[in-house]
Structure 1
Amino acid sequence: MTSGVLYGLSAYALWGLFPLFFKQLQAASALEVVLHRMVWSLVFVLILLAALRRFGWLADVRRSPALLGKFAVSAVLLAANWLSYIWAVNNGHVLDASLGYFILPLINVALGFVFLHERPRKAQWLAFALAASGVLWMALQSGHVPWLALLIALTFGFYGLMRKVAVLGALEGMSLETLLLAPVALVALLWGRHTGELPAHDAHTWLFFVLSGPVTAIPLLLFAAGARRVPLSTMGILQYITPSILALMGVFLYGETFAGPRAQGFVLIWAALALYTAEGVWAGRRLAARRAAA
């Protein structure tokens, strides 16, 4: 249990600190960063698979076109999430990225209801309504919907849904997604260099391009290790570490404005998350008590 919490804490803290890494790649466009991230992530996971001798799952994938199709969809969603997140970080919208990941748990409730026929409890519906009110308030008061935050939340929410119905281990799933994405990314990078649309970069930028592979994979593997060792409710509480770090960095490190409608909307969403978390803990304890009594 203790080691699982440490794995989970490490994963969510690293995800929260991602802006410090991707800010080093501001010389490149968000699209170019994502293309490199696809390629170098594949290189890193292939090295891991070779070291662990875990290539047997590829035979199962070849025998299941349906599984391959599902992972093709999840790969596109993952790429869209990466692109929107990196664009947000490198264009002064870290708070929007934070908002997206605060909204994400409640998006998951809605997706589970629509696609998996899950039945949220009354308090979960109330939390979802509070969060929706926060987003609506920000849209009405600022004159525009927080599209970037919603895009980040929806792409990762649908990505999680696809990974739930297309089951592979964390390393194998990421390997397959990058295996599908990397050839397209490599062709795009080579074409961009050939046509001159992609600029030349210095050694510092190339170093961070290469490091984007392990930086992408390591938190995911830590998350998988933590999820196997602690209850889902515990991981659900730990997941707020990432957007909390992002919010603090956006305000105190990058000087983004946190006042007016944005602050009021965040308060409503934080209230929704507090209700959602408290209800989840209470429901978990009731279930454990019933099991103990039985």
Structure 2
Amino acid sequence: MTQPIASTDADKRTRAGVFFAIAAYSMWGLAPMYFKLLQAMPAIEILMHRVIWSALILAGLILGFKQKAKVIKALRSRKVMTILLIAGLLLGANWLLFIWAINSNHILDASLGYYINPLINILLGRLFLGEKLRPLQQVAVVLAVLGVSVLVVSYGQLPWIALVLAGTFGVYGLLRKQVEVDSLPGLFIETMMMLPFALVFWLWFASPQSDMTTNSLEFNAILFAAGIVTTAPLLCFTAAARRIMYSTLGFFQYIGPTMMFVLAVFLYGEPLEEARLITFGFVWTGLILFSADSLRFYHRQKKLRLNFKKS
């Protein structure tokens, strides 16, 4: 009787990466529901709470998982710290714009941005990681460009919210894939770099809503939850980025923006004009082609590995 072929370390690593990617994008898809609870606060003030409470949670995780040595090692590397500084700035900008978009009734724009993001990942993977674009991937990118062009022609301006969200997060993920530091220590250092600015803002510029001595316990709990909403999906994302191909990571990206799209249209009643729907149609078609190509490529590679093991 033939024994089942044991999973290789690479297979286990890939499966873990897939799990982390699904978890990350699902949590991001539901994030607008959380930020709507804080709609009365300025976006920059919500960002302040994200940074402060994320830093506190991450510090506890660093100690709990005994990651202090990895943090110290990263701090001693000028290259690592430079990359994490740039990544942290991109991350902060992405957070701020995302919060503003959600609470300014631009969830559809945010959704479009994260639909475009996997196609941005394909281009970044090609330009900086040497990942070759297969024919269907090239078609998918072209369709996304055509979709954006529809909005440019219809409204006379670029969908800047979507493009900035996609671009900042795409480059952030690329940088994190290049740096030799685990997800938890890396995210901790990035957040600590933003912490001094957040504390200064809290002490001198924050509104009375951030005075936790006068708030209700319920509202303070919502503010503190910003740390959980922030750190949980990011830890999953960076863990996924280090385990699977960067272009493959984009395959799971559709989960988050689909949830946002549904929330925007059916829960929050954002208008879905014809031009915007056409743009989504182009991007969706590109993602379908990209997904089909990724699945075909994955199964072909898996078959080759199995044949190699048998031989």
Q: TM-score, length-normalised on structure 1? A: 0.90
Decide whether the 8 Å contact of 1:138 with 1:262 is kept in 2. yes
The amino acid across from 2:70 in the alignment is: W
**Residue among 143, 151, 157 paired with 1:130:** 143
For residues 134 and 245 of structure 2, the distance between their equivalents in structure 1, rounded to whole angstroms, comes to 19
For residues 128 and 191 of structure 2, the distance between their equivalents in structure 1, rounded to whole angstroms, comes to 26
Identity %: 39
Partner of 2:202: 189
Partner of 1:289: 303
Alpha-carbon shift at residue 113 of structure 1 (Å): 2.3
Paired residues for 1:28-107 under 5 Å: 28-107=41-120
For residues 70 and 7 of structure 1, the distance between their equivalents in structure 2, rounded to whole angstroms, comes to 23
Partner of 1:15: 28
Alpha-carbon shift at residue 122 of structure 1 (Å): 1.9
Partner of 2:277: 263
Partner of 2:122: 109
The amino acid across from 2:69 in the alignment is: G
Compute the RMSD of aligned alpha carbons: 2.3
Partner of 1:253: 267
Q: Aligned pair in 2 of structure 1 residues 142, 233: CA closer, same or farther (>3 Å)?
A: closer
Alpha-carbon shift at residue 240 of structure 1 (Å): 1.3
- Count of residues in correspondence between the two structures: 290
Per-residue CA shift, 1:219-263, capped at 9, x if unaligned? 233446667888888754433111000000000001011131000
Decide whether the 8 Å contact of 2:147 with 2:281 is kept in 1. yes
Decide whether the 8 Å contact of 1:77 with 1:159 is kept in 2. yes
For residues 238 and 127 of structure 2, the distance between their equivalents in structure 1, rounded to whole angstroms, comes to 26
Residue 158 of structure 2 is aligned to residue 121 of structure 1: no
Decide whether the 8 Å contact of 1:40 with 1:212 is kept in 2. yes
Residue 274 of structure 2 is aligned to residue 238 of structure 1: no
Q: Aligned pair in 2 of structure 1 residues 57, 130: CA closer, same or farther (>3 Å)?
A: same
Decide whether the 8 Å contact of 1:233 with 1:281 is kept in 2. no
For residues 235 and 115 of structure 2, the distance between their equivalents in structure 1, rounded to whole angstroms, comes to 22
Partner of 2:221: 207
Decide whether the 8 Å contact of 1:25 with 1:205 is kept in 2. no
Q: TM-score, length-normalised on structure 2? A: 0.86
The amino acid across from 2:220 in the alignment is: W
Per-residue CA shift, 1:149-192, capped at 9, x if unaligned? 10110010010111111132221111011111111211122121
For residues 152 and 93 of structure 2, the distance between their equivalents in structure 1, rounded to whole angstroms, comes to 23
Partner of 2:5: none
